[in-house]
Amino acid sequence: MHSVVVGTSGVTASDVLAVARGGARVELSGEAVAALAAAREIVEALAAKPEPVYGVSTGFGALATRHISPELRAQLQRNIVRSHAAGMGPRVEREVVRALMFLRLKTVCSGRTGVRPSVAQTMADVLNAGITPVVHEFGSLGCSGDLAPLSHCALTLMGEGDAEGPDGVVRPAGELLAAHGIEPVELREKEGLALLNGTDGMLGMLIMALADLDTLYKSADITAALSLEALLGTDKVLAPELHAIRPHPGQSTSAANMLAVLKGSELTGHHQDDAPRVQDAYSVRCAPQVAGAGRDTMAHARLVADRELASAVDNPVVLPDGRVESNGNFHGAPVAYVLDFLAVVAADLGSIAERRTDRLLDKNRSHGLPPFLADDAGVDSGLMIAQYTQAALVSEMKRLAVPASADSIPSSAMQEDHVSMGWSAARKLRTAVDNLTRIVAIELYAATRAVELRAGLTPAPASRAAIDAVRAAGVAGPGPDRFLAPDLAAADAFVRSGGLVAAVEPVTGPLS
């Protein structure tokens, strides 16, 4: 297992995925350790002065007006962690918590937070031991950072609260630290605050959503191409010169992907046969425009994520000239907005996929396919209710597209009077990505069956590869009615794993 080295200049999205999902080990660079020590000296010098400094020798939030005497400052740091670890609801997924912890460590190692090197090393040790703090669904307003989620992580560093061990069993955190030879941290001035004050949870979920959506958008291009084939549509609308005159990069990419999948098909170009039509329906003809706009939105979201990955989000921060200054960089608005944007485009991609599925099942619009792709329509219902399931998922996606970041609710006695709700935007995006996977899987199920029902016409080699792979994955082809749920689950797992993209790329070359 490879290691990810954390320095002072941030990390990459690939680093986050390696730690969160791949279990990669974490190491601190020598540069980071030196920067941590230098910033700590500044904080300790300020702590020794009689003048109050926010987060070092004062209370927090609306209580920042109280100057805290030296003998109470360690207690102050412990107390902020304990009191802020106030999450409720279901547990958050392990990969989200690992991303959250790793990204907080990234900021700590920037040398802008004033945390001791030993605290940073303990954070790395906990990650490397496979210990995952129990973090709950509710508790972050996305301003002053993801406070409650990060507090539950900091509580584990202190040897308090509950955590999940590498065996998946939840135990008291102190027991887990002792079992792995990790000493609990004794927090000093500013350290409790520094462990809580970041956008790390929402950023981690953004990075993972972008990785999942990258695969899903490629998968959706493939299923759109399969549906176009099954409906005997024309691939002329995918010509590069048509997309060059409306130069949105994502649109050209989507069209190119579809064209690559359709290369060599005998099913395309029959739109002037028995029932002539001038143009295909929007859900077929405009697939690159919709998927392309989603891709361009993802490109903007990646830009925001990359900027956040290079950021040191804390309050106050230690500046290169030695000043310790308060700021508002913990506000999650930049991340919250793009999380909401992605939920919107995911909903629309799901919507257009469902419209293609419905067209495949409707004998009045499918250009010769049997009703509901049934073996013996009337005796068999075919994929009728699979489309109902898809429609239910699309309807839920539309609700999830309502932006969380348009909301704000005041807190901390009106000190924190405008918040981002970015954590909530991230949580609903994760659900949206899950649902989109299922929607694409159902289109795949319908489109592959429909292509196979076009007897006498040979699909494109890439389409054939997709059909063969999905059948090998346990998804049945045309035939009498059967218990559909296992087939749909197998199609979902196939798309979710990246199997669909992997099946066609040996034929098409890498999809973009």
Q: Which residues are catalytic?
A: 54
Provide the 10 A C-beta neighbour count for residue 28: 19
Provide the 10 A C-beta neighbour count for residue 209: 24
Give a three-class secondary structure readout of 23-50. CCEEEECHHHHHHHHHHHHHHHHHHCCC
Give the span between the Cα atoms of 201 and 190, in whole angstroms: 21
* 8 A C-beta contact, residue 60 and residue 50: no
257 token code pair: 């992907």
* Residues in the chain, total: 512
Give the span between the Cα atoms of 371 and 361, in whole angstroms: 6
Which residues is 133 bridged to in the sheet?
A: 163
Helices (H) then strands (E): counts for the chain: 19, 9
Give the span between the Cα atoms of 425 and 357, in whole angstroms: 29
Q: Residue 389: exposed, middle, or buried by beta-carbon count in 10 A (0-12, 13-18, 19+)?
A: middle
User: What is the β-pairing status of strands 317-318 and 324-325?
Assistant: antiparallel
Q: Could you report how far apart the first and last alpha carbons of the chain are, in Å?
A: 28
User: Taken in order 411, 415, 419, 424, is the CA torsion positive or negative?
Assistant: negative
* 8 A C-beta contact, residue 161 and residue 133: yes
Give the span between the Cα atoms of 415 and 423, in whole angstroms: 20
Give DSSP secondary structure letters for 259-311: HHHHTT-SSTT-TTSSS--SS--HHHHTHHHHHHHHHHHHHHHHHHHHHHHT-
Provide the 10 A C-beta neighbour count for residue 264: 14
Give DSSP secondary structure letters for 117-155: HHHHHHHHHHHHTT-EE--EEE---SSSSSHHHHHHHHH
Give the span between the Cα atoms of 84 and 380, in whole angstroms: 57
Give the span between the Cα atoms of 424 and 492, in whole angstroms: 25
Provide the 10 A C-beta neighbour count for residue 310: 13
